[in-house]
Chains A and B, each alone.
Chain A
Amino acid sequence: MTEEAANLIKMARDEGRNFMLEHETKAILKSYGISVTQDIFCRTPDEAVHAARRIGYPVAMKIVSPQIIHKTEYGGVRLNLANDENVKSAFDEMVSSARKRLGNFDLRGVLVSEMVRGHEMIIGSMKDAQFGQMIMFGIGGINVEVFRDVSYRLVPIEEIDALEMISELKGKKLIEGYRGSEKVDINGIVSTLIAVSRLLCDFDEIDEMDLNPIFGNARGVKVADARIILSKVES
């Protein structure tokens, strides 16, 4: 159990939240050795521009608020922003879009993130009443959404389980270098799955988790967006 993860979860609990904000989730993942996109937390449009220049264009931007779990539903995600102007206006647009739905809301800021290329993947978790924590893996947005081509295991998993999870997906061809498409670093996927499994074993209070999307290429895998939902505390 990493101290960082324990502290962050406690902080969220203290605030009365049962879910973690994106940058908190990513900090937790990072503390378990899982690679995540480079993100900079910003409070103002100017800070965002500054961050975008540091990361290098193009960038993605996402809203951060304890009132928002599903950011896209609130117009809170913008991708492929190419310059300072785009970043500034994206900041304002996201805030006003969220304000339309929520009124005066608790805006913490935005995350400015690097744009990653690669195959889309998803790792998730859920709890089963009989079997407890389970980990899920899927490849390709369409394969997950439309074909439900996903595999599950109970945690903890070992390397062999992670390899089996990958190999039982029909979509595995996509990451094996199908018709000249880029091969994905399989070791990177395996070690990410095992690290996520370790995190789940350490924190039984994680009820559900989505690392989605994760981008994978020959150099490795990077989590681009992530959310953790904690068990509800009876008051």
Chain B
Amino acid sequence: MKDERIDAIFNPKSVALIGASNKEGKMGYVFAKNITDGYRGKIYMVNPSEEQVLGLKSYPDVRSIPDSIDLAVIVIPAKAVPKVMEELAEKGTKAAVVITAGFSEAGPEGKKLEEEMMVAANKGKIKVVGPNCFGIYNCNIGLNASLGVGTPPKGGDISFVTQSGAYGMAIFAFALDHHMKFAKIMAHGNKAGIEDYEILRYLGEDDETKVICLFLESVNKGREFFEEAKKITPKKPIIATKTGRTAGAARAAASHTAALAGSFTAYEAAFKQSGIIFARNGMDLINIAKGLDWQPLPRGPRVGIVTNSGGTGVELADLCEEAGLVVPELSAETQEKIKELIPPYASARNPVDMTPVWPRFVELYSRIIKILYESNEVDIIIPIILQRAAMMPEVCQAVADTVNECLASDYKKPTYVCWVSVRSAQGNMDILQKNRVPCFDWPERTARAVGAIYGYVEFLKRRAISFEGR
């Protein structure tokens, strides 16, 4: 059963914006604009000194709203929040997103305010996101109740929970730039009224969420979080970064074991054991999510590389092996098929190095990808698209078409592109990514993302969890 109050955050029938404003540059204006931009439910603006906000009637207070409220978005000063929360509780409001800062993060006075706010919220059983947060999105219903700009496209199935507001939003924006589409986003800031495991449980049960991304600084209720994650990973992947890994265990320990453990030890153990994919940083998080979202899961660790640069191919092969993948030499039979296509001095062993025969790139990438796809010697295909190849839109289009043609066949193998090129070629990367062929910048990031994805597959395999059709 989905948590109704968390569902009210993402799927509200009505939204009240407390602190709505017509004044450009004010928080209340940004939110008014964002919420009215794409959300089609009922919207109630609340501001005693306005008659209308962006053309919608403005109410002097929460009490005068004639309807019930599913979600309240609060942007008024911290001091005024506890009282508003009381009024919201009286009205039977289901959830509140408190954007306002100046609570427990700001010292003892703010902590007191946060406690007062939570007493009121708990009395009315209001689920509180924040305070001191960036807000939430449900992209698929066009709801942007956040400080982020614009309403993201619909049709996404990645959900992202971030403790850090600004960085989280930057990661999100970066992902949007890469044509990734999202389902639900939550920046939960101080986490005064919501636990990580509750959100995780909600997203685990959410049919619109296929991949869960977490940007964590800390986890509250680690045990519950761990138990929840263990239930979800057999069905859908969870990827998490955890910052603050390196501070040593400063406490005095009487045992050897305790003295050896660092601050990240418990997180690391919990992640490994529950099958959470650990991302080293924000970009890693996005890359892994992209690969998981757009391509099927690899059946095995064997990588076939096709490259227009020998050096890059060797670097990538090294990095793949270091990341727990395998780059096998292709069989004589497969090599023969490839040799028919490439110049005699080129290599068909794997990495397949076409060398710079750029007038034939369109044909060669397509045909070699197909040969690798059809061979039963590799499980994963990584075309390296470097410099001149990357600058040719027709090459990128051909690779995108070939990958999707292959994926339409009976057996599924993922393809990830290792992209090495200049800024002016980014438009060509769009051709691939609009077609759900993930591109990763440079060999290191490619090997890292693919290795992490295969790590998840290994977790499933060891536990005999079927991932047919995923």
Contact = CB atoms under 8 A, between A and B. Distances in A.
B257 A131 contact: no
Contacts of A126: 253, 255, 257-258, 261
A208 B445 CA distance: 39
A28 interface: no
B126 to A, nearest CB: 26
A73 interface: no
B338 to A, nearest CB: 36
A227 interface: yes
Interface in B197-239: 218-223, 226
B423 interface: no
Given A126-B253, A160-B462, A152 B258 contact: no
Q: Which of A124, A128, A160 counts the most B-chain CB atoms under 10 A from its CB? A: A128
Given A126-B261, A136-B261, A208-B257, A152 B268 contact: yes
Contacts of B221: 130
Contacts of A124: 255-258, 260
A32 B219 CA distance: 33
B426 interface: no
A209 B266 CA distance: 16
Interface string A224-235: 000101000000
B266 A128 contact: yes
A150 B260 CA distance: 9
A55 B463 CA distance: 44
A134 B255 contact: no
A150 B255 CA distance: 15
Contacts of B281: none
B266 to A, nearest CB: 4
Contacts of B269: 131, 134, 151-154
A122 interface: yes
Given A131-B226, A161-B273, A164-B272, A152 B255 contact: no
Q: Which of A125, A154, A160 counts the most B-chain CB atoms under 10 A from its CB? A: A154
A19 B255 CA distance: 11
B229 to A, nearest CB: 11
Nearest to A148: B260
B270 interface: yes
B254 A131 contact: no
B405 to A, nearest CB: 38
B265 A210 contact: no
A212 interface: yes
A174 interface: no
A130 B266 CA distance: 8
A229 B273 contact: no
B241 to A, nearest CB: 16
Q: Which of A126, A208, A209, A212 counts the most B-chain CB atoms under 10 A from its CB? A: A126
Given A130-B266, A134-B269, A154-B269, A210 B257 contact: yes
Contacts of B272: 153, 164, 168
Interface residues of B, number: 25
B226 A210 contact: no
B260 A131 contact: no
Contacts of B254: 19, 69, 208, 229
B269 to A, nearest CB: 4
Contacts of B261: 126, 128, 134, 136, 152
A208 B219 CA distance: 22
A130 B220 CA distance: 7
Nearest to B221: A130
A121 to B, nearest CB: 13
B455 to A, nearest CB: 12
A132 interface: yes
A27 B165 CA distance: 53
A144 B260 CA distance: 9
B207 to A, nearest CB: 29
B318 to A, nearest CB: 19
A10 B219 CA distance: 34
B222 A130 contact: yes
B160 to A, nearest CB: 22
B265 A134 contact: yes
B226 A136 contact: no
B265 A152 contact: yes
Nearest to B263: A128
B15 to A, nearest CB: 34
Nearest to B255: A208
A141 B269 CA distance: 22
A103 to B, nearest CB: 23
B200 to A, nearest CB: 14
B270 A131 contact: yes
A132 B222 contact: yes
Contact of B226 (A138, A154, A168, A229): A154
Interface in B99-132: none
Interface in B236-294: 253-258, 260-261, 265-270, 272-273
21 contacts: A69-B254, A122-B257, A126-B261, A128-B265, A130-B220, A130-B223, A130-B266, A131-B266, A134-B266, A136-B261, A138-B260, A151-B269, A152-B261, A152-B266, A154-B223, A157-B273, A168-B272, A208-B258, A209-B255, A210-B255, A229-B255
The list of the 4 closest CB pairs from A to B, nearest first, reads A124-B257, A130-B222, A208-B255, A128-B266
Given A130-B266, A144-B260, A152-B266, 14 more contacts: A69-B254, A124-B255, A126-B258, A128-B222, A130-B223, A131-B266, A151-B269, A153-B272, A154-B223, A164-B462, A168-B272, A208-B257, A208-B258, A210-B257
Interface of A: 19, 69, 122, 124-126, 128, 130-132, 134, 136, 138, 144, 148, 150-154, 157, 160-161, 164, 168, 208-210, 212, 227, 229
